[in-house]
Amino acid sequence: MQGSNPLRSTLAALLLMSTCAGAQSGADALGSVTHSSSFTFLQRDGTCVYGKVSKADATSVIVQPFDKPPVTLQSGSLLQVRQGNALLYTARSSWADVSGVVVYPREKFVLTLMSGKQVKGKPVKTNSDSIALKHGLRTTIYPKAEVATIDYLRVKPPTDSFMYVLGEAPWILLFDPEFYYRSAGFAGKLQVRLYDATKPEDDTPVECRGRR
CATH number at 190 reads 2.30.30.100
Within-domain flag for 100: yes
Is residue 204 left, alpha or beta, with left meaning phi > 0 and alpha meaning psi from -120 to 50?
A: beta
Is 34 within a domain?
yes
* pLDDT tens column, 105-159: 889 999 999 999 999 999 999 999 999 999 989 999 999 999 999 999 998 877 7
pTM (global) more than 0.75? yes
Beta bridge partners of 150: 111, 195
Asked whether residue 168 is domain-assigned, the answer is yes
Residue 209 within a domain: no
Cβ(181)–Cβ(14) under 8 Å? yes
Q: Which of 36-40, 74-78, 117-121, 154-158 shows the highest mean pLDDT?
A: 117-121
Domain that holds residue 188: 6-153+163-197
Give a yes or no: residue 158 inside a domain: no
The domain total for the chain is: 1
Percent of the chain with pLDDT over 90: 49
CA atoms of 198 and 189, how far apart (whole Å): 25
Q: Examine the pLDDT at 173 and tell me if it is beyond 90.
A: no
